[in-house]
Chains A and B, each alone.
Chain A
């Protein structure tokens, strides 16, 4: 990665980290309701892969831990936070919430709450790209436990059979909610599981963004060149619980500390300092500027935005009726 890119991505990763930590605080303050799944610890996964892809051009889909993926694709952090606040200005107009961030304009095709649900949707997007003949690819970010759903196998089979332009990124954070991968999964190394479908796969460290980037670049090239799907497993760790209602009783504090010593932001920061491209003072300025941006723009926007109107409760359930009359009534417009 080029020095300028690394500095830019470091700033983005700091935003992603602080954004999520601010969500935590807003949840405690009851500004955010429902379920909230946070991303700290895994930032190098989304950033490393998307640096190798084309954010806003390639189609991205993921599960419920979706805020950072949306922002990386180009979604406005203000609109993502406003969604968490349930506001009309939110990316899903307050109807979706944390697990359902969507920004179709930025080709972020959504966060979904059912584990494994996005697999076939990603394949469907890839099929559409293939039929239209574009140079985009579909990228599906999911966790390790999603691979235990039956639909994983159905999707892998069809993606391989039809040579679909889809990259499956498995962010293996070692836990499916509170169950460790050894206790839930017969084959712990996830990249081995697609061999049965002749899908090429790779596995690497998910904490060092430059390692992720190098592996992702090969994976993206493979898919974009028309060779069919690719499966990339990234070994990572989420610092917080699965959601806010998780006190992490299923793992030791020592294990958590061990992973925090390989923090994706600090790895990149320290490397840039070593390369003489950054000073600690500059990094602290980035953090301060990020916090100020989140407070003065993101939170302010979310606080001040209007709620959806109760009269609009049934809006978006179906297409606007007026636009559908010929098909609904059988009469010409």
Chain B
């Protein structure tokens, strides 16, 4: 295992997989301009051609609020990509995933969108020394627990882990953290398994709530294991505003681990 940074892990995967060159869109905010090609062409060509043509391309793009970049440079767009049939969406929360998901995405014959976060490139973590392919489907239990499941992806996994620590130490609540590194398809079995164990769910996302990961996960919970629930699931999310430039407003607009803690305490009637 090597302890390397997120961007270094991506670089290593790039270096190892030379045959299919991934497309890097500098910022998801710029990806709107390529939507027609990504959605109408890449995602649909296999189906439209009855399987004759394929578009085994990988799009990497970073999004998220990254310190006062303003309304046109801070978007989270995973919800947009998740809604497109024919496109896979993954989102790494650590260097190991960043490396392994990119390698699998390049080998996979489907178009894959890899959603990264601008604030995470300097994050350090363990990456296997030998070649490693992370599954493009599924989810990971990042921390086991019994009382409540905290669903996160990408940067919000880290809010959930921090919140779980606080909930355990200060409130005696055992939180399980599930990392939804695959946003399309979402891991129905993994979501069901964890909620069936803890009977409570909180979904944390940096994005605004409407039509988002949180609403999708709650819909899956309803469909898969509604009668396992002891409380209504809760979403932790950004305010429904274009990202403000002002630092205080920006901070007020986006959630963090404290909001996850508050949501859990509310769920347990402790706040």
Interface hits, A76-100 → B, CB 8 Å: 83, 86-87, 92, 94-100
Contacts of A95 in B (CB 8 A): 71, 242, 244-246, 249
A-B interface pairs (CB < 8 A), number: 84
Q: Are A97 and B239 in contact (CB under 8 A)?
A: no
A307 at the interface (CB under 8 A from B): yes
Contacts of A98 in B (CB 8 A): 70, 245
Q: Are B246 and A307 in contact (CB under 8 A)?
A: yes
Distance in angstroms from A140 CB to nearest chain B CB is 17
A149 at the interface (CB under 8 A from B): yes
Query: In the complex, A96→B69 CA distance in Å?
Result: 9
Query: In the complex, A113→B30 CA distance in Å?
Result: 10
Contact of A113 among B33, B67, B73, B252 (CB under 8 A): B73
Given A112-B72, A113-B70 in contact, is the A86-B245 Cβ separation under 8 Å?
Answer: yes
A333 at the interface (CB under 8 A from B): no
Pick from A49-57, A261-269, A290-298, A309-317 the stretch touching chain B: A309-317
Given A34-B68, A317-B240 in contact, is the A310-B73 Cβ separation under 8 Å?
Answer: no
Contacts of B73 in A (CB 8 A): 34-35, 99, 113
Contacts of B253 in A (CB 8 A): 313
The residue among A99, A150, A312, A313 with the most chain B CB atoms within 10 A of its own CB is A313
Given A113-B72, A114-B72, A317-B241 in contact, is the A310-B249 Cβ separation under 8 Å?
Answer: yes
B248 at the interface (CB under 8 A from A): yes
Q: For this complex, into which size category does the number of interface residues on chain A fall?
A: 20 to 34
Contacts of B241 in A (CB 8 A): 313-314, 317
Q: For this complex, into which size category does the number of interface residues on chain B fall?
A: 20 to 34
Which secondary structure dominates chain A's binding surface?
A: loop
Distance in angstroms from A232 CB to nearest chain B CB is 25
Given A86-B68, A95-B246, A100-B245 in contact, is the A114-B239 Cβ separation under 8 Å?
Answer: no
Contact of A96 among B32, B33, B70 (CB under 8 A): B70
Q: Are A114 and B29 in contact (CB under 8 A)?
A: yes
A33 at the interface (CB under 8 A from B): yes
B247 at the interface (CB under 8 A from A): yes
A308 at the interface (CB under 8 A from B): yes
Contacts of A314 in B (CB 8 A): 239-241
Query: In the complex, A97→B68 CA distance in Å?
Result: 8
Query: In the complex, A153→B72 CA distance in Å?
Result: 23
Query: In the complex, A317→B253 CA distance in Å?
Result: 13
Query: In the complex, A310→B244 CA distance in Å?
Result: 11
The residue among B67, B68, B244, B246 with the most chain A CB atoms within 10 A of its own CB is B246
Query: In the complex, A94→B250 CA distance in Å?
Result: 11
Q: Are B245 and A313 in contact (CB under 8 A)?
A: no
Q: Are B242 and A317 in contact (CB under 8 A)?
A: yes
Distance in angstroms from A27 CB to nearest chain B CB is 11
Query: In the complex, A98→B246 CA distance in Å?
Result: 11
Distance in angstroms from B250 CB to nearest chain A CB is 9
Query: In the complex, A112→B239 CA distance in Å?
Result: 22
Contact of A99 among B72, B240, B249 (CB under 8 A): B72
Contacts of A86 in B (CB 8 A): 68, 245-249
Encode contact with A along B230-271: 1 for CB under 8 Å, 0 otherwise: 000000000111101111110011000000000000000000
Contacts of B67 in A (CB 8 A): 33-34
Query: In the complex, A88→B240 CA distance in Å?
Result: 20
Contacts of A113 in B (CB 8 A): 29, 70-73
Contacts of A114 in B (CB 8 A): 29-30, 32-33, 72
Interface hits, A171-222 → B, CB 8 Å: none
Interface hits, B106-133 → A, CB 8 Å: none
Query: In the complex, A34→B69 CA distance in Å?
Result: 4
Distance in angstroms from B241 CB to nearest chain A CB is 5
Q: Are A99 and B70 in contact (CB under 8 A)?
A: yes
Encode contact with B along A276-320: 1 for CB under 8 Å, 0 otherwise: 000000000000000000000000000000011010111001000
Given A313-B239, A314-B241, A317-B240 in contact, is the A94-B249 Cβ separation under 8 Å?
Answer: yes
A-B residue pairs in contact (CB < 8 Å), sample of 7: A86-B68, A114-B33, A310-B248, A313-B249, A314-B240, A314-B241, A317-B240
Closest 6 CB pairs of A and B: A97-B245, A33-B68, A113-B72, A34-B68, A86-B246, A94-B246
* B residues apposed to A, CB below 8 Å: 29-30, 32-33, 67-73, 239-242, 244-249, 252-253
